A and B are shown apart, each in its own frame.
Chain A
Amino acid sequence: MTTTTVPRRTGQPPLQRGKVAPTVILLIGAIYCLIPVAWVFVAASKAPGELFNSFTFAPGSGLLENLGDLFSHNDGAYGTWALNSLLYAGLGGVLSTLVSAAAGYALAKYDFAGGRIFFGALLAGLLIPGITLAVPQYLLLSDLQLAGTRWSVLLPSIISPFGIYLCKVFAEGSIAQEALEAARIDGAGEWRIFQSIVLPLMVPGMVTVFLLQFVGIWNNFLLPYIMLADQTTFPLTVGLSSLLNQGSGSPALYSLAITGAAVAIIPLIALVLFLQRFWRLDLISGGVKG
């Protein structure tokens, strides 16, 4: 956020009396957003018996026991799910960013036959609901013997129309045509130009696309839910859902699901808060001036 180079109104006027309403409303919003997070951490500390028998915001005594149960449940399935999530979101995010950057650059800086059509098709792709594609994607990957493998989640995650759109917008704003022409006159090849001029300039945009993709893939439920059947390939979202579904038979698993949810959100909240400052959300809000 702080990377935006827009001149800011600096210095706040002293707080006027009777004008606390904006701050109060903002605080209510903040509390509303934090309450479930606080609750899930408190609930994760409760032993299964305490979950249903004590005031819900009173901390319990079973945190370590719950954590032990969580990571030992089903031969450490939870750890496997976490690693799977990391694999899908990390590798998928990186590949998706590279593919998007190359395509976005081509669409922004070259006038080529078919470019417009491709871009139009991409924008139309934004409007297609996930499940419309997920069902035939599943059938397609079944034919290729890939359904149920980690590839079936990874491959469809790489293509991101929105990522390409953002990279195109960013390339238009940040890469000067003259720099490209000068490099061409100096005899640099197109790949070389892309590597040594374009990519470094596009890093801020690519960080944004990577974060959006990472969080998007990490949080995705439907695609892995449809594609995967084997517990050992599940990401966290599908794994927790399976835990909860078993829990409707035996409430002891509820504690496990809650503890699992609490543990699952910690790394992602940390990542998002840490990387917030590198975001170029002006890409999305239409404020890119380059």
Chain B
Amino acid sequence: MTHAMTDRADLPVAPAPTDDRRPRRRPSLRPRLAPYLFSAPAMLLYVAFTVIPLGYALGSSFFAQRLTGGGILGTRRTVFVWFENYADVLTNATLVAGLGRLAIYGIIAVPLTLGLALLFALLLDASGTRLKRFGRTAIFVPYAVPGVVAALMWGFMYLPATSPFSYVTRSLGLGTIPFLEPDGLYGSIANITIWGGIGFNMLVIYTALRSIPNELVEAARIDGASEIQVALRIKVPLVGPALILTSIFALLGALQLYGEPAMLMPLTNSISTTWAPLMTIYRDAFVLDNLSSAAAASMVLAIGTAAFSLAVLAVVRRVSRRGMA
């Protein structure tokens, strides 16, 4: 594939010398055209799999299937309904309840994932910590475990019959831990994604920490700053960009919660098919065949996600700028 474009068919037919010493040849790509050709595959795929689907979702969110004519002669027709689907979505008790559950989950999962990732990254970077290599590798292992497989593993560790934790509490006479009961679920699901998310975020933050010039840290130590002060006053502000990026990713990941609760469903009755908003959207689209409603709901989620991320970005930027000044 790499040679396809250099060996042009319109080159002189004379046997070419070795590839590298070929005498002046016509440039194979004009500089003005080149960037378009280089980005063409990405652009085409982006248009095909992002722009068009998004436009399609946006378009179909304004239409609905209606029965017209009435009686046996009534036909199903697709009609333009303005923002009716959106109104339905925003007043849909099932979806709103799902958003509420998602919010509780997110409030638990996002700060804990980032907080723990930052904590472990700082520990890896601190001078007094031992067993760094082992710690770093062990904490990174869950990154290699697919979310649904993690949910499967934790799910069995939650299930009363197989849970090692409940086994211990039962033998202590404390009873079974309600991991899979409605109230325990938030923590249980958050735990799965926290477990899977710490390692990668830790490495990103740790890599940023390593690029902090040594002199800054040494100077602070000489001035008598403790290791904790060095961490909080010098290191954390300097890895701001990495923290912003990881928090945006953690937030995006949290809002797209789907695989974990879906995977736990066979193990408990506490997870309905509409537990998380994405599960409702999936059900609307593929089980109830109500595409307009699914499209409107996913547009609401997309707009909400984008707005939320941008808001967080704006706040974090303002705070970090004040911190730097």
User: What residues make up the interface of A, taking CB atoms closer than 8 Å to B?
Assistant: 1, 4, 6-9, 12-13, 15-16, 19, 22-23, 25-27, 29-34, 36-37, 39-40, 43, 51-52, 55-57, 99-100, 102-103, 105-107, 110, 112, 114-115, 118, 121-122, 124-133, 135-137, 139-140, 155-156, 158-159, 161, 164, 184, 187-192, 194-195, 215, 218-222, 226, 236-237, 240-241, 244-245, 247-248, 254, 257-258, 261, 264-265, 268-269, 271-273, 276, 279, 281-282, 284-287, 289
Contacts and interface: CB of A to CB of B under 8 A. Distances in A.
Contacts of A221: 146-148, 258-259
B131 interface: yes
Contacts, number: 333
Nearest to B308: A127
B205 interface: yes
B298 A132 contact: yes
Interface stretch (B36-44, B66-74, B84-92, B179-187): B36-44
B301 A132 contact: yes
Nearest to B208: A285
Given A131-B281, A285-B242, A265 B149 contact: yes
B259 to A, nearest CB: 4
Interface string B286-319: 1000010011001101100110010000000000
Question: Which of B46, B127, B263, B267 is the most central at the interface, judged by chain A CB atoms within 10 Å of its CB?
Answer: B46
Contact of A191 (B29, B36, B211, B286): B29
Interface stretch (B93-101, B103-111, B135-143): B135-143
Contacts of B252: 126-127, 129
Given A16-B128, A102-B42, A129-B298, A43 B135 contact: no
Given A156-B49, A241-B263, A135 B204 contact: no
A257 B123 contact: no
B247 to A, nearest CB: 13
B203 A125 contact: no
B164 interface: yes
A188 B38 CA distance: 16
A237 B148 contact: yes
Nearest to A22: B129
Contacts of A9: 127, 214, 217
Contact of A115 (B35, B53, B141, B203): B35
B42 to A, nearest CB: 4
Nearest to A21: B128
14 contacts: A8-B210, A15-B130, A16-B128, A29-B138, A39-B156, A99-B45, A105-B38, A129-B301, A221-B258, A258-B152, A258-B153, A264-B146, A268-B145, A281-B203
Given A7-B214, A110-B34, A191-B34, 10 more contacts: A15-B128, A22-B128, A31-B138, A110-B31, A118-B43, A131-B301, A133-B50, A189-B29, A221-B259, A285-B239
Contact of B204 (A36, A52, A285): A285
Contacts of B164: 39, 55-57
